[in-house]
DNA sequence: TTAAATGCAAACTGTTTGCAAGTGC
DNA sequence: GCACTTGCAAACAGTTTGCATTTAA
């Protein structure tokens, strides 16, 4: 039962994630934390990201193709990915979450513990540039 | 504009997928089609799976961690993955799809073209074995 | 003092790709 | 015959891991 120790690197990773809402990849986290701890290694970033998501301090998003993305928001919420610019936006309307929660209640094939809903399309910004 | 030609291998891949509802991975497809075409290569399987999903004949599911999975069902429907046995089940209740479609309509951040909803938990079978 | 965390590099998994040979039309 | 497809192997991206060293407690 590993007792977790403080680490500046981990703290820095958390802080960086808290300051972003654009769901950075492990590599982006690495590039940015490196500005503060130039010797940090990608392995450390991965280890901490997965540790933090295991203990529920951050969320790991795996459904956007390519790399996993990470989110400091841990309350259930849906995501929207723009298939043109690749950005991943939070979908704040609690509307969706009610729907998802309701869906979970009605399912008869097992006991649902969590869900993950991703929507894809063209975001407003890209739409505007057409 | 590549004109698609017939290929036994591709046909066999499609047929195999049509006969399964458990969302096999590329590797499972490979292992099974190999029983019929022993010389087929994994590269060919990947090429065809991605071709077929590009033209919309099959669906690629990317949100279950590890490998991508493939589904001959192309109508929108949600999935449930058992976190104990790893199985991925279809969620047939059209209820969910109405909900998701409705959710899509209400989103204001862009134009949604498709979505992907995955639910996770313990399936009936695993629950029964506890 | 010692268990946890790090940096580094090598290993690993899943997927894609270049190329020469094969095949459908 | 020409373009599409294949098999093979090498390359690739993202992630994980082993190990000697450093660091928090």
Q: In this structure, what DSSP letter does residue B25 have?
A: B
In order of their start, the domains of chain B are: 1-73 (1.10.10.10), 75-130 (3.30.1490.190)
Model pTM score? 0.87
Q: Which range has the worst mean pLDDT, A81-95, B49-63, B75-89?
A: A81-95
| Measured distance CA(A123)–CA(A65) in Å, rounded | 17
Q: pLDDT of A14-51, one tens digit each? A: 999 999 999 999 999 999 999 999 999 999 999 999 99
Q: pLDDT of A89-122, one tens digit each? A: 888 766 677 777 777 777 888 888 888 888 888 8
Q: Which range has the worst mean pLDDT, A67-81, A87-101, B68-82?
A: A87-101
DSSP secondary structure of B30-46? HHHHTTTSTT--HHHHH
- Measured CA to C1', the nucleotide nearest B44 is D6
Asked if A104's CB is within 8 angstroms of B110's CB, the reply is no
Structure tokens at A44: 């450390």
B99 interfaces chain A, CB cutoff of 8 Å: yes
| Measured distance CA(B86)–CA(B20) in Å, rounded | 16
A18 interfaces chain B, CB cutoff of 8 Å: no
Q: What phi and psi, each to the nearest 5 degrees, are found at residue A127?
A: -60, -40
| Measured distance CA(B12)–CA(A109) in Å, rounded | 31
Q: Where are the beta strands (DSSP E) in A5-106?
A: 59-61, 69-71, 78-82, 88-91
Residue B129 has pLDDT above 80, yes or no: no
């Amino acid at each position: 039962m590993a007792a977790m120790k403080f680490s500046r690197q981990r703290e820095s990773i958390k802080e960086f994630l808290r300051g972003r809402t654009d769901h950075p990849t492990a590599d982006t986290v690495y590039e940015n934390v490196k500005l503060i701890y130039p010797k940090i290694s990608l392995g450390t970033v991965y280890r901490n990201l997965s540790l933090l998501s295991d203990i529920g301090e951050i969320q790991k998003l795996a459904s956007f193709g390519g790399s996993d993305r990470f989110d400091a928001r841990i309350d259930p919420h849906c995501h929207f990915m723009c298939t043109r610019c690749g950005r991943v936006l939070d979908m704040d309307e609690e509307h969706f979450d009610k729907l998802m929660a309701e869906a979970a209640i009605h399912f008869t094939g097992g006991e649902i513990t969590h869900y993950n809903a991703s929507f894809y399309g063209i975001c407003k910004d890209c739409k505007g540039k057409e």
